[in-house]
Chains A and B, each alone.
Chain A
Amino acid sequence: MINGNFKTNYEDEIKIFQTTFVKFWLVILFVGLIIFPLVADRYFIYLCNLCGIAIIGALGLNILTGYTGQISLGHAGFLAIGGYTSAILSTKLGIPFWLAMPLSGIMAAMAGMIVAIPSLRLKGLYIAITTFAFGFIVDHLIIHWESMTNGPSGITAPRPSLGVFVFDSDKSYYFIIIVMVILATGFARNLFRSRVGRALIAIRDRDIAAEIIGINLTKYKIQAFSISSFYAGIAGSLMAHYFDVITFENFTLMLSIQYLAMIIVGGVGSILGSIYGAIFITLLPELIRLLTDLFRQEYPSLTTRFADLKSVTFGLIIIIFLIFGPKGLYGVWRDIKVYWKNWPFTY
């Protein structure tokens, strides 16, 4: 059954990119990603940057909620900690972006560990409430700790620079984001084909059995929180140095819910799903704007209703996915793939 050469066999099996077909398309994708900013309109690059930041944040939330099963309503709080840490470090202490960004990830990760502690004895809804409260505490801190955060007026972080080169255009910032997205995706992908990632999924699926086979629930839940918030911290830092100014309004409960929407729409417990969902939810307002523009002639009132339309569509889409596509866009995509693989032998 098994031939003698164990090692090469299993090594081939655990390769991240299994076939030359996949490799081929990845190369195309990669080349596309590099060419895109050179030819695309500035506005598209801006949208793409927003998507990139959202992907990193969504991967983080999926690690905690999708893979480990700990529902978080406070993801925005960790993004805020990342964003403000990065901004404060670079403006008040003059620390360069390249150091401030990882430090903001670490800061958020430490906050994550603290939030994890009350969550250890709790399950499901109770964790949602703990994290929900955490989000509000962070907002409160930002508003009232004025000496650090400038209070409600917000804080401005400088654009990153390397020597004399300043990443001040959307195009140059795009490359920073894309590198971070690739690193974040690769790390998450690897994590879930190795020991720690498997343990996290085991905790989600059956915590008692996980414990009996030797998984320390406390340790791994804390780790899940800290990895997840590290990702959020990085995303927050990327926001801070990209936007002209960040305020507490960038990090409200609405943002936490948007991130939840991303992983629900994209696919809970799926790397690709996080990416699809992040792109979809980020572009959704643009899509709605396009549609309202299209019908403006006939229904002029639509434009003023844009904000309402946005939140209603949002809610509707989440509900639709929860009911009809619990596996998210990723699941739909996989079903289609299986369908075409078997086509025309579909029985």
Chain B
Amino acid sequence: MPQLVVKDLSINFGGITALVNVSFQVEKGEIFSIIGPNGAGKTTIFNCINRIYTPHRGTILFQDQDLLRYKPFEVSKLGIARAFQNIALFENMTVLENLLLGRHHRMKSGVMAGGIFWGKAKREELSHRKRVEEIIDFLEIEAYRYQIVKTLPYGIQKRVELARALCMDPFLLLLDEPVSGMNVEETEDTARFILDINEELGTTIVLVEHDMRVVMDVSDRICVLNFGEKIAEGRPQEIRNDPLVIRAYLGK
């Protein structure tokens, strides 16, 4: 059974048709990429999965559960995490606080426990801090723990956002252009992290990316969108030589 099944997804905004009958399946443990020119509808697919948008037609199944029955905040509990195209960190907080927020849905203490901060809440805070530190080590951001996010360079912020998503211990990780705006070195680091996450943590990854080298290097399979329609799907080799894909990218 595939981990994620997207079937006949359609959505339009006013006159703009953003997605038309898009279907694909992502297997457990796979790195699955979605590519396509600007405005093709890639981010819109993520927004449907996260339930920010409700598609007009179609279904999304995650581990056999109908995602459309859930609210946005519940999707994370099912095990889906996301890093945004435009950095969406809580920029007035420290890196540590951002990462602890990634643990939010796995923690329990409420207002009273937090306000008193004795015993239970404190123990919970410490145990989750431990997991956060593991992720910090994993993504090599030790130096930035206590820094306020908005003071950090762009590339590091991108990595912190990846870290926040990982702190959620997701089964499925949605990455929306994780290397956009990065220099060559940062791009290589990130590509390596994506592979490490996939191999060491066993996380299924859906990747949206414009950088074709990264896409070709890390993906198991690729799906190509153009004007909201799926025009191809296959292994990197197949996609590279697909005439329809070449036309979509070079045709205009």
Residues of A within 8 A of B (CB): 1-2, 6-7, 10-11, 14, 187-188, 190-191, 193-199, 201-202, 205-206, 208-217, 223, 227, 269
Contact = CB atoms under 8 A, between A and B. Distances in A.
Interface of A, helix, strand, loop or mixed by DSSP: helix
Interface residues of B, number: 46
Contact of A198 (B72, B97, B111, B117): B97
A206 B82 CA distance: 14
Given A201-B97, A212-B76, A213-B81, 18 more contacts: A1-B142, A11-B122, A190-B114, A194-B113, A194-B114, A194-B125, A195-B104, A195-B110, A195-B124, A198-B97, A202-B101, A205-B90, A208-B72, A213-B102, A213-B164, A214-B105, A214-B168, A215-B73
Given A6-B130, A213-B76, A227-B111, A198 B88 contact: no
Contact of B52 (A206, A208, A227): A208
A214 B73 contact: yes
Contacts, number: 118
Interface in B188-242: none
Q: Which of B113, B116, B126, B133 has its CB near the most chain A CB atoms (within 10 A)?
A: B126
B92 interface: yes
Contact of B104 (A193, A199, A227): A199
Nearest to A230: B111
Contact of A214 (B76, B91, B93, B114): B76
Interface string B84-118: 10001111110001001110110111110111110
Contacts of B117: 190, 193-194
A180 to B, nearest CB: 14
A209 B88 contact: yes
B132 to A, nearest CB: 10
Nearest to A11: B126
A25 B213 CA distance: 58
Nearest to A6: B130
A2 B115 CA distance: 29
B115 A187 contact: yes
A197 B124 CA distance: 15
A14 B52 contact: no
Interface in B18-58: 50, 52
B64 interface: no
B95 to A, nearest CB: 13
B6 interface: no
Contact of B82 (A199, A201, A202, A212): A212
A191 B93 CA distance: 15
B137 A195 contact: no
B114 A195 contact: yes
17 contacts: A11-B122, A187-B116, A190-B114, A194-B113, A194-B121, A195-B124, A196-B109, A198-B104, A202-B104, A206-B88, A208-B52, A208-B88, A210-B90, A212-B52, A213-B105, A214-B77, A215-B104
B129 interface: yes
Nearest to A1: B142
A7 B126 contact: yes
A198 B101 CA distance: 7
B5 interface: no
A12 to B, nearest CB: 11
A212 B75 contact: yes
B137 A2 contact: yes
A198 B73 CA distance: 16
A14 B104 contact: no
B196 to A, nearest CB: 17
A10 B130 contact: yes
Nearest to A16: B117
Contacts of B122: 11, 14
A211 B129 CA distance: 21
Contacts of B101: 198-199, 202, 210, 213, 215
A98 B187 CA distance: 62
A217 B73 contact: yes
5 tightest CB-CB pairs across the interface, nearest first?
A214-B105, A214-B76, A194-B114, A209-B88, A190-B117
B151 to A, nearest CB: 14
B102 A194 contact: no
A244 to B, nearest CB: 33
Interface string B121-154: 1101110011001000100001000000000000
Contacts of A6: 126, 129-130, 133
A209 B84 contact: yes
B109 A198 contact: no
Q: Which of B52, B117, B124 has its CB near the most chain A CB atoms (within 10 A)?
A: B117
